């Protein structure tokens, strides 16, 4: 028997709420998967090209940046791999990061039609965009592999460690997404502001260019955990090493802190937010 009472999770205290969170996560796996199937089919069902858009969009974006680089508009300096591969890899990671934040941040507001009528573990809402983003990410990785074969680019012998290096990026994105999801359900402008901010942020980080050795961009990224997570994922994939293990470790730890803080905020606040949706 489950007893519901106001502010239950706040009364439980900081430590006692964590077992509830993990139990809710395990109990919501089945529902999360069904929501994923619903959202995934709905995303591409009424689209003329279906999942081909997952391929078309990065190819179009890469072609734009490659054209800007060749024309001299964008100075990327000398990259260790063909610039096409460099940009496609950066965009693949960046799209995973921004896609997770944007989709999770808007999921509560998009699901307001039934979350106020049906009682279920609300963490299931978060599982769906994570799975959708993962499928899109895998398709883009296949595209990256094809482009690497065409350009005869060989990954490092340690590329199999790439999934482990990408995990902190996923944790960071999911943590931020869960933090903004309850807020975005009340203030509908939050997802739009996030999309604008993330679009601008891409040009402040070495997604499509190498980080310069001086200047304001360099200074910003020296204190940006996402820079180390992104750059070291590229290093491990192509060079087989982590250039700055200490900075990457601290950034990975930061991503875990954000993930658990965002998860706890989502878990504690979602019941109150549902009343205001």
Q: Dig out the tokens for 241 from the structure.
A: 């090493």
pLDDT band at 2 (very low <50, low <70, confident <90, very high): very low
- Helices 190-201 and 162-186: angle between axes, nearest 10 degrees: 140
CA distance 106 to 188: 8
Asked, for residue 35, whether it belongs to a domain, the answer is yes
Asked, for residue 4, whether it belongs to a domain, the answer is no
Report CA-CA distances (Å) from 130 to 96, 108, 125: 10, 14, 9
Question: Residue 9 contacts by C-beta under 8 Å, 6 or more apart in sequence?
Answer: 17, 20, 267, 268, 271
Asked, for residue 155, whether it belongs to a domain, the answer is yes
3-state secondary structure 31-62: HHHHHHHHHHHHHHHCCCCCCHHHHHHHHHHH
Nearest to 151 by CA among 87, 71, 69: 87
In Å, the largest CA–CA distance within the chain is 67
User: In this predicted structure, what is the pLDDT of residue 190?
Assistant: 82
CA distance 182 to 274: 8
Do 97 and 169 meet the contact criterion of CB atoms below 8 Å apart?
yes
Q: Where does 111-215 have alpha helices with state H? A: 112-115, 123-150, 162-186, 190-201
User: In this predicted structure, what is the pLDDT of residue 12?
Assistant: 57
Tally of structural domains, the chain = 1
Asked, for residue 266, whether it belongs to a domain, the answer is yes
What mean pLDDT, rounded, does the chain reach?
84
CA distance 157 to 237: 8
User: In this predicted structure, what is the pLDDT of residue 13?
Assistant: 57
Q: CA 33: distance to chain centroid?
A: 18
pLDDT at 265 over 90: yes
pLDDT digits (tens, 9 = 90+) for 58-111: 777 777 777 766 666 566 666 778 888 888 899 999 999 999 999 999 888 877
Asked, for residue 3, whether it belongs to a domain, the answer is no
Mean pLDDT score, 244-269? 94
Asked, for residue 1, whether it belongs to a domain, the answer is no
Asked, for residue 196, whether it belongs to a domain, the answer is yes
pLDDT digits (tens, 9 = 90+) for 144-180: 888 889 888 888 888 888 999 999 999 999 999 999 9
Asked, for residue 191, whether it belongs to a domain, the answer is yes
pLDDT digits (tens, 9 = 90+) for 18-71: 888 899 899 999 998 998 888 888 777 766 566 676 777 777 777 777 776 666
User: In this predicted structure, what is the pLDDT of residue 92?
Assistant: 92
User: In this predicted structure, what is the pLDDT of residue 73?
Assistant: 55
CA distance 136 to 218: 31
SS3 content of the chain, % helix, strand, coil (to 5): 75, 0, 25
The domain of 178 spans 10-41+48-276
**What proportion of the chain, given as a percentage, has pLDDT over 70?**
86
């Amino acid at each position: 028997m489950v007893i519901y009472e106001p502010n239950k999770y706040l009364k439980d205290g900081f430590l006692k709420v964590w077992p509830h969170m993990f139990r809710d996560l395990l109990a919501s796996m089945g529902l999360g998967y069904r929501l994923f199937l619903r959202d995934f089919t709905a995303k591409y069902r009424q689209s003329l090209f279906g999942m081909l858009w997952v391929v078309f969009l990065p190819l179009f974006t890469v072609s734009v940046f490659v054209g800007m680089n060749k024309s001299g508009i964008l100075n990327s300096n000398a990259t260790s791999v063909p610039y096409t591969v460099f940009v496609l890899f950066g965009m693949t990671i960046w799209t995973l990061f921004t896609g997770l934040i944007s989709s999770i941040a808007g999921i509560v507001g998009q699901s307001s039609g039934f979350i106020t009528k049906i009682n279920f573990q609300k963490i299931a809402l978060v599982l769906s965009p994570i799975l959708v983003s993962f499928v899109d990410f895998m398709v883009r990785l296949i595209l990256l592999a094809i482009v690497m074969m065409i350009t005869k680019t060989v990954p490092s012998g340690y590329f199999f460690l790439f999934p482990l290096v990408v995990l902190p990026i996923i944790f960071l994105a999911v943590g931020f997404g869960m933090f903004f999801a309850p807020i975005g359900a009340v203030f509908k402008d939050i997802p739009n502001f996030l999309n604008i901010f993330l679009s601008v942020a891409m040009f402040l980080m070495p997604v499509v260019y190498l980080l310069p050795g001086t200047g304001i961009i360099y200074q910003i990224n020296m204190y940006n955990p996402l820079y180390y997570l992104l750059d070291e994922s590229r290093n491990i994939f192509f060079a087989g090493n982590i250039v700055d293990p200490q900075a990457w470790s601290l950034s990975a730890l930061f991503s875990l802190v954000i993930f658990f803080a965002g998860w706890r905020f989502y878990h504690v606040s979602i019941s109150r937010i549902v009343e205001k949706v």
